[in-house]
Structure 1
Amino acid sequence: MTDSTLDRPEVATTAGRVRGRWRDGSAAFLGIPFAEPPVGDLRFAAPVPHRPWEGVRDAGEHGATPQRKALAEITLIPEPSYPGESTLNVDVFTPRPGDTDAKLPVLVYIHGGGYVAGSPASPWYDGAAFNRDGVVTVSVSYRLGFDGFGWIEDAPANRGILDWILALEWVRDNIAAFGGDPAQVTIAGQSAGGGAVLTLLTVPRAASLFQRVYSISGTTASVTPADAERYGRALAAAAGVEPTRAGLSTLTEERILALQGEDDAVTSPEAPADPLAPLRALASGSALRWAPVVDGDLVPAPIAAAIADGVGADKGLVLGATDNEFNMAVSDLRETLADADPAGLLTAVGVPQEAAGAYVAAHPGLDTAGMLGQFVTDAMFRAPAREIAESRAAAGTPAWVYRFAWASPTFGAAVHCLDVPFFFDCLDSERVSYIAGDEPPASLADEVHGAAVRFIATGDPGWPAYALPEREVQVFDVPTIAVGDGLADVGVLQSAR
């Protein structure tokens, strides 16, 4: 229990007591370890629950975060890194610490960053607004990059996924002490975090640990076992070590971070240069080398295939994307591509000729670079979201689909990450003005955040479920409206997949 007379709240967990801090009517418990530090013999092992501690553990400051590669330096989300070895932690934000009778709904958030970057300690992921609206919020960390997802001959695959599962088991066993209800858990995440929650939707071992899924710009990218082994062997060879736990443990984190970011560590030096290769990789999902592996065991099948087979049909699902996620990925090529045939370039990156022509016809007014940028956005995010929604609708299983269409005044488009501060209703947080301008519309945050709260609390975000033949999609903009067949423009890509 919590002694409310204390300046700082205390809660008893299964491993020991933790002491958080009060903040404007709710409490934050930061850096609570759910697993032993993944170092030494545990570096490439499955996560192990943290051993009990004596006394009261301070949880007033963020814990150590997994080390990150250069991608984190260009992310649009502020994601600080904290040094230390104990990197597998949860941050818990709650309005009712110690009240085991409160049984508030719970949001568990998994951060993005391409599975190689990101931090659970972002001020954007603070649960204050969700606490205000009666939702206990948990932000989790996990092993990134090669440490979390790289193939090693004698190590378990998908160590990052095992981290997510252990964190969810920690929530199951402890969240009641923070005022939450373990029977009302919604998992959510953005970008790779959105892919994480879609992956967990298909993982049988995780099925009992949550009831609902909210995927924000979720990637459905995964890695085959053969590719995972090829990447892992190549990295070990580049380092001059055996592809085993013993061999790779001789490498520092810094060395592995450098190797996992080098193209020549996983590709043949004899491969001819292909200027369209980055676009092809982005569109196909193969740009993410260190990502969930479809190993046939923990992860039985790719996300879309599993959902088409009815996996996770008992879970509520909201998913969507911003309208222009990665359009900016080709902005530097605008002059180079000015005179190129857009349909021809789409064919060159893997779109069937007929579908390429239909896609160009469906996007009048875009120049070639704009067309390719929109294609990357649609192939990576919007078309897979529609495919998943179509599968659920065909089976009569509710799913709710949205588009975030409000254009950033600083970027001129609805870019990747733009919707996150609206989801968390933290428009006054640091760096939000960089991505959303000086006066982002509070009414839009009310819509986006309010829909999330409704879904977490009731299982219905407040707009019509995606159903055939209407295919209604919620378009978050000023004003927000529901639109029939709101992703029709990516249907041609879905049919060509």
Structure 2
Amino acid sequence: MSDPVVRTTSGEVRGLQRGELSAFLGIPFAKAPVGDLRFAAPVPPEPWSGVRDAREYGATAQRGETGPTLIPEPSIPGESTLNVNVFTPRPGEPEAKLPVLVYIHGGGYVAGSPASPWYDGRAFNRDGIVTVSISYRLGFDGFGHIAGAPSNRGIRDWIAALEWVQANIAAFGGDPARVTIAGQSAGGGAVLTLLGLPAAQHLFHAVWALSPAVVSVPAERARTLAAKLANLAGVTPTREGFASLPEERIKELQDAAGRHDSKDRLAGVQAFLDDGLAWGPAVDGDLLTQPTLESIRSGVGADKPLVLGTTDDEFTMITDGAKGKLRLVPAGVALGMLGLSRDVRRAYLAANRAQHRKGTAAMLGRFTTDHVFRTGVVRVADARGDAPTWAYRFAWASPTRTWALHCLDVPFWFDCLDDPAVASIAGDAPPPRLADALHGAAAAFIRDGDPGWPEWRGGATRVFGGDPSAPDVLADGYASVRALV
């Protein structure tokens, strides 16, 4: 069978035939963000003549070796970093009108890659769903405040990619009227940002947020961080000043500028919990006029079905290394040092007795998980009121990493347990039935707008991989975090 060719609005592309499925990789949705376009809003690509090869992943905004990561996300060199990857069972068949999944990768808004083998759409293709993974500018280039440049360039990249989907996905067998956006971690925060963004409402129809890190950097903090970076670089905090710095230097300085200055480790942790990520969606008064949670509470996106959830111990792996030092520190004292009042500490510890019994390190890991991720589920779900909203938890503990940790749910959600890199995070024999359940719920939601369990309505939560003797759906599955909300 020959490799398929599909016509897009910019020209024809040749994909890769893989059995009954096809992959089209590295298709530009915007011009390369270099030179005069480096800090500009995305610009549509120049049309091309002939057939463009789309059989290898395009360049990524992530650069260089990242070292070991929980999700394999390779860096690919090159300038044309604004591209999409399309996986489809029905290329060149606009009459197929299959539902569409658009996936936004995570990485704290400073890292990550759409070229991960885990984001390959073959399992969703098997279920009759066209799958798209997209790229976007990262870190300061994507989200830093620059006088004289468009704000939130990374968000503008998401919008441009979704506009490309609207204009082109029918040619790949997809239905532009049935687009679900999904993402994990920063990608989960990205899709919630889009859910609360009035300018993006016409570009998608449903949302699934895995472990969403909801970020709305205040305008003043965005300006302060940019000024700090410029000062470190010895340039003026203007478009011209930042443009004089090579991307390698920007990357180095953004890490330094976003780092908390305190030499007290506990104070640094508290500052991170209070301030959140340095680089990410910022309240700019233009594209984002208010924080995402406030926008959702006001009713933006209420017509769109939403599923959101977390793993049970996203960050507990981080505190494991401090077990020895924390062994003799009561959990209540440690939580008090992080700013929790006595009444909140008592209520929170009472609601987390099982975790408390595992020691102070485990309790602090759970608190960090709850503060950064799980309270956000409750806040967003409650803010939606009667809008169609479903919540879940991923409770299966990794046999290699002890906990139901950050990113562990991703290979189950994509049903890619056969990928060799899965063993490092999920062991040599991850349960296929768990993948069937989680991936099956995702596919059902993308196709039909319902994942298959009761809506939130005050706390109803589907638990994946929990105690087999307990019910799959809890009446209030996030009750243990409510003392923090």
TM > 0.5: yes
1:319 corresponds to which letter in structure 2?
A: L
User: What is the Cα deviation at residue 282 of structure 1?
Assistant: 4.1
Moved more, 234-243 or 351-360: 351-360
Select 2:330's aligned residue among 319, 336, 341.
341
Select 2:47's aligned residue among 31, 52, 56.
52
User: What is the Cα deviation at residue 267 of structure 1?
Assistant: 6.7
User: What is the Cα deviation at residue 391 of structure 1?
Assistant: 2.1
Identity over aligned pairs, percent: 58
**1:98-137 maps to which residues of 2 (within 5 A)?**
98-137=92-131
Matched residues in 1 for 2:4 and 2:258: separation? 49
Structure 2 partner of 1:319:
308
**1:16-31 maps to which residues of 2 (within 5 A)?**
16-31=11-26
Structure 1 partner of 2:482:
491
User: What is the Cα deviation at residue 347 of structure 1?
Assistant: 2.4
Do the aligned partners of 2:87 and 2:122 also contact (CA within 8 Å) in 1? Answer: yes
**1:213-362 maps to which residues of 2 (within 5 A)?**
213-262=207-256, 265=257, 273-284=263-274, 286-362=275-351
Select 2:433's aligned residue among 443, 447, 450.
443
Distance 1:93 1:267, change over 3 A: closer
Deviations 1:292-325 (A, max 9, x none): 1012321122222222222210111000000000
Structure 1 partner of 2:444:
454
1:486 corresponds to which letter in structure 2?
A: G
Do the aligned partners of 2:183 and 2:190 also contact (CA within 8 Å) in 1? Answer: yes
Matched residues in 2 for 1:305 and 1:368: separation? 34
SS of the counterpart of 1:294?
A: coil
User: What is the Cα deviation at residue 25 of structure 1?
Assistant: 0.9
User: What is the Cα deviation at residue 108 of structure 1?
Assistant: 0.2
Structure 1 partner of 2:381:
389
Distance 1:477 1:266, change over 3 A: closer
For normalisation by structure 2, the TM-score amounts to 0.96
SS of the counterpart of 2:310?
A: strand
Do the aligned partners of 2:316 and 2:366 also contact (CA within 8 Å) in 1? Answer: yes
Distance 1:311 1:276, change over 3 A: same
Structure 2 partner of 1:368:
360
Do the aligned partners of 2:62 and 2:112 also contact (CA within 8 Å) in 1? Answer: no
SS of the counterpart of 1:486?
A: coil
Deviations 1:34-69 (A, max 9, x none): 000000000011110111011110000000111347
SS of the counterpart of 1:101?
A: helix
Deviations 1:382-438 (A, max 9, x none): 11101111222xx22120000000111101110000000001000001310000000
Do the aligned partners of 1:69 and 1:257 also contact (CA within 8 Å) in 2? Answer: no
2:165 corresponds to which letter in structure 1?
A: V
SS of the counterpart of 2:22?
A: strand
Do the aligned partners of 1:109 and 1:140 also contact (CA within 8 Å) in 2? Answer: yes
Give the unaligned 5+ runs of structure 1.
1-5
Moved more, 327-336 or 78-87: 327-336
Do the aligned partners of 1:325 and 1:416 also contact (CA within 8 Å) in 2? Answer: yes
Do the aligned partners of 1:189 and 1:215 also contact (CA within 8 Å) in 2? Answer: yes
SS of the counterpart of 2:118?
A: helix
Distance 1:183 1:220, change over 3 A: same
**Which structure 1 residue ranges, 4+ long, deviate > 6 Å from structure 2?**
none
Give the unaligned 5+ runs of structure 2.
none
For normalisation by structure 1, the TM-score amounts to 0.94
Structure 2 partner of 1:3:
none
Matched residues in 1 for 2:258 and 2:96: separation? 51
SS of the counterpart of 1:336?
A: helix
